[in-house]
Amino acid sequence: MKYLSLLLILISFSSFAQDKIPAKNGEITINPITHGTLVFEHNGQVIYVDPYGGAAGFAGQKKPTLVLITDIHGDHLNQETLDGLDLSGATFAVPQEVADKLPVGTGKSIEILSNDQSKTINGVKIDAIPMYNLPENSESRHPKGRGNGYIVNLGGKRLYLSGDTEDIKEMRSLKRIDVAFVCMNLPYTMDVDQAASAVSEFKPAVVYPYHYRGTEGLCDVEKFKNLVNASAPNVDVRLRNWYQ
């Protein structure tokens, strides 16, 4: 019985394909790819987030209608992966510095969003949220204004993608977030305690820790879950294996 319970826990942790979020006009499907890369599907829209890890990782996924890229680093803007995908029908939503690096003719079109700007693309409202490291200085790996986090509005739900950030005031002050994807990997973003503290403040209904591989390996997402549940017990912390 003990071994059966352990097996069920392992299966629960590793199975992530097509989590479903109830929404208007059909469920939102969440498909993980790897690290900070995922795919949303809803009501005919297929949204790729930070395509990375090679085109083979997208086998079985539908062609994108929208591609969101958060930053210029190779685990977010990965030209090799983009080159292997059929992006002919996709509109790109990106910050200016990402647009500057994309080859001419990328996708169907490119929409540029700056921090705190919103655009409706293919009927989907996208809000660009600041993402940056603390303290703000010239040595920052992620200076404020270069990259975007995003809030994707689908089926009456608000899905937050943190991008590479620390527990900045703009994250802590978020409201009415239904699903959040929150990074935690040193030395690039923030540690588990910072991430848990921020999530406990803005209290999304559901949170997935993602982008949690750093220079020292994988972060302790079980600790993250315990910290959040201790201070914000109504937040549904979902642990999934992003590094199969």
Residue 8 lies in a domain: no
Nearest in space to 150 (alpha carbons), one of 121, 120, 118, 176: 118
Beta-strand relationship, 148-154 and 179-182: unpaired
Residue 10 lies in a domain: no
Burial per residue of 96-118, b for 16 or more beta-carbon CB atoms within 10 angstroms, e otherwise = eebbeebeeebbbebbbbebeee
Residue 2 lies in a domain: no
Tens of pLDDT, residue by residue over 61-101, are 999 999 999 999 999 999 999 999 999 999 999 999 999 99
Question: Looking at residue 109, which CATH number applies to its domain?
Answer: 3.60.15.10
Instruction: Tell me the average pLDDT across 34-56.
Output: 97
The mean of the pLDDT values for the chain is: 92
pLDDT value, residue 103: 96
- CA–CA dist 185, 220 (Å, integer): 10
Is the pLDDT assigned to residue 8 strictly greater than 60?
no
The CB-based long-range contact list for 168-174 (8 Å cut-off, 24+ gap) reads: 168/130, 168/131, 168/132, 168/134, 170/129, 170/130, 171/129, 171/198, 171/202, 172/198, 172/201, 172/202, 173/202, 174/129, 174/202, 174/204
Residue 181 lies in a domain: yes
Question: Which residue range is the domain that position 208 belongs to?
Answer: 18-237
Tens of pLDDT, residue by residue over 199-224, are 999 999 999 999 999 888 999 999 99
Residue 7 lies in a domain: no
Q: What percent of the chain has pLDDT over 70?
A: 93
Tens of pLDDT, residue by residue over 127-157, are 999 999 998 887 788 999 999 999 999 999 9
Tens of pLDDT, residue by residue over 94-133, are 999 999 999 999 999 999 999 999 999 999 999 999 999 9
Total number of domains in the chain: 1
Burial per residue of 45-68, b for 16 or more beta-carbon CB atoms within 10 angstroms, e otherwise = bbbbbbbbbebebbeebeebbbbb
pLDDT value, residue 13: 42
Instruction: Tell me the average pLDDT across 13-30.
Output: 81
pLDDT value, residue 147: 97
Show the tokens assigned to 57: 């990782």
What is the edge-to-edge ordering of all strands in the sheet holding 28-34?
19-21, 28-34, 37-42, 45-49, 66-68, 91-94, 109-112
CA 168 to chain centre: 16
pLDDT-derived band at 17, boundaries 50, 70, 90 = low
Total residue length of the chain: 244
Nearest in space to 93 (alpha carbons), one of 61, 62, 76, 70: 70
pLDDT value, residue 230: 98
Residue 11 lies in a domain: no
Residue 4 lies in a domain: no
Is the pLDDT assigned to residue 159 strictly greater than 50?
yes
Show the tokens assigned to 8: 């069920």
- CA–CA dist 47, 42 (Å, integer): 9
- CA–CA dist 147, 136 (Å, integer): 14
More confident of the two residues 186 and 165: 165
pLDDT value, residue 203: 98
Residue 9 lies in a domain: no
